[in-house]
Structure 1
Amino acid sequence: MKHVTLLALVKDRDQALEELRELGSVEVMPVQAPSGGTLEEARERLARAERALEGISTLGQEAESLSTQAPGSDANADQVIERVTGLLKTRADLAENRQTLQDELERLASLGDFDTEAIAKLAEKGVTVRVIEAAAGQRLVAPSGLGLQPIAATGDAAVYALYGRGDIDPAIDLGGTYVPFRLPDHSPAQMRRLVHEADESLAGVNARLLGLSAHRSLLSQRAAEIAEDVRYLEVREGMGAAEGVCYLEGYAPEESIDALRESAGRFGWGLLVRSPRSGEQVPTLIRYPKIIQPIKTLFSFLRILPGYWETDVSWTVLVFFTLFVGLLIGDACYGLLMVALAIVLFVRVKRARSAAVLLLMLGLSVVFFGAVSGSWLGIKNLPPFLASLKIDWLADNQNVMNLSFLIGAVHLSIAHVWNSITEFPRATFLAQIGWLLIVWAMYFLASSIVLGNPLPTFEFYLLGAGIVLVIVFMTPASELKGNMMNHFLLPLTLVSFFTDIISYVRLFAVGVATVAVMDAFNGMAMSIGFGNVLTAAAAILILVFGHSLNLVLAALAVLVHAVRLNTLEFSTHKGLSWSGRVFRPFARSAFTAESTAQLKG
């Protein structure tokens, strides 16, 4: 990636931006905060278009089917957006009014039906009626000349009617605490009628929106056009300018620089190209080789990307993620189900082929580990061919735990070997060798403490040599004063290395849990038996439910454990923070040419 600065005359600004967008190879960084009336207007138009699309999307399956119909060549997208926006506002107002009425009806439910106009008619005849509310069980007494009638009661409150001729003091003493009870403007019967009318109006508005949903694809395209207009204006308004010259800055892939220079020469731009400087927020552009392309699906799903200054570890993550998934799920039938799903996905959904290939790789890994561990839906008596695939060594939990620790040590070793190669020939590469020795010392220590294996005689030499290399070469002498804290924290770092190795035991523990759940449901089904249709149906339902649940738990295990071991344990040792952001060049889409021409006018 290269940092580029482009200069052009202010009068040629739009021409320069058009050509730059045509090239589509530069991610433009704003020199100043983009602002301006035209930009704000475009952003508002985009917000309206997105609200209209979202409003239509809430109408459900019927709107989805209508949206596939041809909207008609005479449809105007902007007019449709305004109509949808107006209907959405009407619907929101109706829904709010309806909810207000419904809340009032719930508040007045204990009073039953009454006529608010009757109170007004009594007032005309000189009779005042005040409705009050007091705590339930509290005794209120009306003074002479006034009447007090209980009219409703709820769990913790009672409602009374206080009445008499002439005015009644709002603060009159009734021998207890009370508050005025607010009466509505309409009677409950009138409010129920208004709710019904609101429901009819809402149905009418939804019907009209449903009719407009046939234009959904048109609105989607228009929203994309406006979004690109907004992007164009953000770039234009974010450019710097001085003395008749405007300029912008950004980043472009190194292989696109020649084409950029050619355009600069043809249009008379000034162009400065340099390498990014340390500390700059450079976007990340990774072109994955076809063999590891499937891992892009996982990174996109997790929304993670290594930073520009960090190492691309795609191949390592792909290999070990595939290995971890096989160990975590570890049942051949589950793996075959994943393989079948991957094939269907590959054939039927062209846009998901990369995900299908990843699923296929994971499925084959699960089939392999399920076959060698003898796990086929928990079936005990396997056919001779399937039984012959089983490796008895894997039936011993001690061996599988030790294998988990060994995989962990290898995984973390790759990180430190990689770091040492990167650091060479600087002396700090020896510190990475020291960390590598510590990883293996912790592997032997974990095997001894957890599994009871004897420590090798060279354990303390291995650990000691690693610590010495780290202490001596971890920090260059010129930086020692500012990084002394790393040396003080070394004991804690050693402990974290040990716990990182222990963390890989999850590969064993989750696999055992998967088998345990499988065996439990198989046992429940067998205890019911298949003696008749009823028991057979019940047993089949238990098996389907149990294995479905196990698959869901296995999927969660993959997301939690297989991902974590790559993005936390391994990444920490590699020094990877996944701080990257995707490279998003300023580029043209085919359908925006006309709208851009209108903008410039």
Structure 2
Amino acid sequence: MKKLSVIAIADHREETLHQLQELGLLHVRPVEKPATATAADAAERVRTAQRALALVETAAHEHAATPPAHEDAAGDGATLVDRVLAMEAERAALKEKHTQLTQRLADLAVWGEFDPRRVGDLAAAGITVKLYVCTPQQMPEPPDGCAFEEVERTGHRVAFVAMSREPFTLPIPEIALPDAPPSALAAQAEDAAGAIARLTGGLAALNARAAAIRAHITQLENDAARARARDALAGVGTLVCLQGFCPVEAVPALERAAAAHGWGVLVEDPAPGDDVPTLIRNPRWLRPIEVVFNFIDTFPGYTEKDISGVFYLFMSIFYAMLIGDAGYGMLYLAILLAIHVKLGRRAPTQVFTLLYVFNVTCIIWGALTGSYFGIKLPATSFLNNLIVLNPADTPMMMKLCFVIAAVHMTIAHGWNAVQMMNSWRGAAEASWILVLWGAYFLANTLLLGKPFPPVMYWVSGGGIVLALVFSGTLVRPLELLQFPFKVINFFGDTVSYLRLFAVGMASAAIAQAFNALAAGVDLPLALRIPLVLVLLVGGHALNMVLGPLSVLVHGLRLNVLEFSSHLGQEWTGVKYDPLRRR
């Protein structure tokens, strides 16, 4: 990256921002000052338009068939957004009214149909009538001259009418009379529901103009980008300056634009303290993993390593082990294919490619372990020929997790050692690999009861001494105090990979438990079939929901925390996002 300062005439600032946006090369350097009202308003307009688009898409989804567009769907994107928001505001008010009426009707149901005006007529004649609901324990004694008429009594509620020719009060809350008979309230609720349905249909009809709303959103995003860039402008007299970054190979194009538009351009190397954006150019086969980085909004710093390849490989392995079932992988794959076909060209290619790879890996792992919906395979099944790992063999599965941990973290320290091979720090990183494998054998000894190889005393001990010497820790007292904890951390990180086995085993246990519950149902056939279906579908659906969540929690952790901490990766990067027309 190169740091650029673009200098232009202050009176031409808007024209300059438009031209830079058309060029689409300059990542504007963020400013420390808060956004101006203009930039904040521009961002709010984007969010408002996005909300309008979501409303019409949701309304269209709620309808089996989208109503045809009508005259209300005319107008540009801005007009459509205003109309959608107005309709939604009206619909929200009607929903609130409908909810209140429904609740009021539920409260009044115990009293049946009555006309509240008759209560007013009785009051005019000197007879006070009040409605009450309380628990049997709260039921008061009637005051002198007051009569109670119970309308309903249950184990937890008493509804009664209190009547008297004299004013009276009771120590329990009074039920407020409605403004109209319950039948009239029910009619109002029905009218509100009809109006809600009509408005929802109107919103669904506006989905036919979703493309216009999307185009409007794009325009608003362009306006918001220029507003942010405008905030970053520094003015000196009759000139303005905009600083930013662009790739080295893009500098000539920007210089040509500067010559054409009369800008001044200063090209520099980024200073050590600059917040330089990160531009990662992965080969096509690696691009799907960028979906994960974008999802968690985490990017390597400008001077940090691009670990896309290692991340992709191990994330696929972690996904397979955490889901751990070929049957689930096939179901996920079938669902993905159905959604992909439905979306057609609108389907995000990288997202689907990533999920296809993950689930194919899951199917392969499930086949290698013989895991299919938690069902024990028959002895004669040909699928038994594919099994090479027994998930019930706990020591073997734990050892596999330790091997994955050691290999994963060895890649991290080996990468550092190669990168720093011309310095003592490279030797220190190579020494840590010896410590790491010592931690691997220690985990096998403490958790699996395997004998600790005598040679590893020398290997791991020598690694500790070499790391202590080559890292320069001996001359830094604070680091020297932390050094023992760093060594212990190698063992802790190795053991942390057991989560791959533990979570996968828990998923298998849940599947087997629901299978056993379904198999144990002993009811007449008419009752057994629906109950078995509920148990099987509900249990496996729960497992299929929890599986991806475990990948997000544990799979990401092993890559972003354990592996990255050994690599020295802090994920402090900002994605290269130039001022451009979208």
TM-score range, shorter chain: 0.7 to 0.9
* Comparing 286-295 and 61-70, the one that deviates more: 61-70
Q: Which residue of 1 aligns with 2:99?
A: 99
Q: Distance in 1 between matches of 2:48 and 2:540?
A: 47
Is structure 2 residue 580 aligned with structure 1 residue 583? no
Q: Distance in 2 between matches of 1:341 and 1:121?
A: 65
Alignment of 1:64-463 (within 5 A): 66=66, 75-129=75-129, 136-143=137-144, 146-150=145-149, 152=151, 155=156, 160-164=161-165, 168=167, 177-325=171-319, 349=344, 351-355=347-351, 357-359=353-355, 361-362=357-358, 365=361, 379-381=377-379, 398-463=395-460
Deviations 1:29-82 (A, max 9, x none): 454444356x56655654553343233223243668548979999643333333
Q: Which residue of 2 aligns with 1:503?
A: 496
Whichever residue aligns with residue 408 of structure 1, its letter is A
Whichever residue aligns with residue 203 of structure 2, its letter is L
Q: Distance in 2 between matches of 1:124 and 1:395?
A: 83
Q: Distance in 1 between matches of 2:248 and 2:62?
A: 49
Deviations 1:265-319 (A, max 9, x none): 3323232333334454433221112342332244344443323332111111223
Deviations 1:127-186 (A, max 9, x none): 55566677654433434xx53434556735665535326xx4xxx6x6x73445433333
Q: Which residue of 2 aligns with 1:491?
A: 484
Gaps of 5+ in 2: 522-527
Deviations 1:420-474 (A, max 9, x none): 3344444333432332221111111112222332222233333332333344444
* Comparing 535-544 and 91-100, the one that deviates more: 535-544
Change (3 A) 1:490 1:550: same
Whether the 8 Å contact between 2:20 and 2:579 is mirrored in structure 1 is yes
Whether the 8 Å contact between 1:408 and 1:501 is mirrored in structure 2 is yes
Whether the 8 Å contact between 2:322 and 2:503 is mirrored in structure 1 is yes
Change (3 A) 1:21 1:337: same
Q: Which residue of 2 aligns with 1:6?
A: 6
Q: Distance in 1 between matches of 2:142 and 2:452?
A: 89
Whether the 8 Å contact between 1:21 and 1:587 is mirrored in structure 2 is yes
Q: Distance in 2 between matches of 1:498 and 1:197?
A: 68
- Secondary structure at the counterpart of residue 58 of structure 1: helix
Q: Which residue of 2 aligns with 1:467?
A: 464
- Secondary structure at the counterpart of residue 250 of structure 1: strand
Shift, 1:92, TM fit: 1.8
Change (3 A) 1:73 1:139: closer
Q: Distance in 1 between matches of 2:203 and 2:227?
A: 31
Change (3 A) 1:308 1:156: farther
Shift, 1:95, TM fit: 1.9
Q: Distance in 1 between matches of 2:139 and 2:292?
A: 66
Q: Distance in 2 between matches of 1:368 and 1:48?
A: 45
Bigger radius of gyration among the two: 1
Equivalenced residue count is 570
Percentage of matched positions with identical amino acids: 32
Whether the 8 Å contact between 1:342 and 1:357 is mirrored in structure 2 is no
Q: Which residue of 1 aligns with 2:525?
A: none
Shift, 1:340, TM fit: 8.3
Whichever residue aligns with residue 195 of structure 1, its letter is A
- Secondary structure at the counterpart of residue 241 of structure 1: strand
- Secondary structure at the counterpart of residue 445 of structure 2: helix
Give the superposed CA RMSD: 4.5
Q: Distance in 1 between matches of 2:114 and 2:385?
A: 84
Whether the 8 Å contact between 2:474 and 2:480 is mirrored in structure 1 is no
Change (3 A) 1:67 1:258: farther
- Secondary structure at the counterpart of residue 266 of structure 2: strand
Whichever residue aligns with residue 566 of structure 1, its letter is N
Change (3 A) 1:188 1:399: closer
- Secondary structure at the counterpart of residue 452 of structure 2: coil
Shift, 1:584, TM fit: 1.9
Whether the 8 Å contact between 1:447 and 1:453 is mirrored in structure 2 is yes
Change (3 A) 1:199 1:475: same
Deviations 1:380-422 (A, max 9, x none): 54688x7776659999764554343223212111111222334
Q: Distance in 2 between matches of 1:421 and 1:208?
A: 63
Q: Distance in 1 between matches of 2:171 and 2:338?
A: 72
Whether the 8 Å contact between 1:36 and 1:237 is mirrored in structure 2 is no
Q: Distance in 2 between matches of 1:113 and 1:540?
A: 43
Deviations 1:479-523 (A, max 9, x none): x36xx1x43333333333212212334445566667777888999
Whichever residue aligns with residue 216 of structure 1, its letter is A
Gaps of 5+ in 1: 529-534, 590-601
Q: Distance in 2 between matches of 1:103 and 1:551?
A: 37
Whichever residue aligns with residue 14 of structure 1, its letter is E
Q: Distance in 1 between matches of 2:432 and 2:106?
A: 69
Q: Distance in 2 between matches of 1:403 and 1:203?
A: 57
Q: Distance in 1 between matches of 2:338 and 2:299?
A: 29
Change (3 A) 1:445 1:68: farther
Q: Which residue of 2 aligns with 1:25?
A: 25
Q: Which residue of 2 aligns with 1:593?
A: none
Whichever residue aligns with residue 480 of structure 2, its letter is H
Whether the 8 Å contact between 2:56 and 2:204 is mirrored in structure 1 is yes
* Comparing 389-398 and 535-544, the one that deviates more: 535-544
Q: Distance in 1 between matches of 2:58 and 2:384?
A: 53
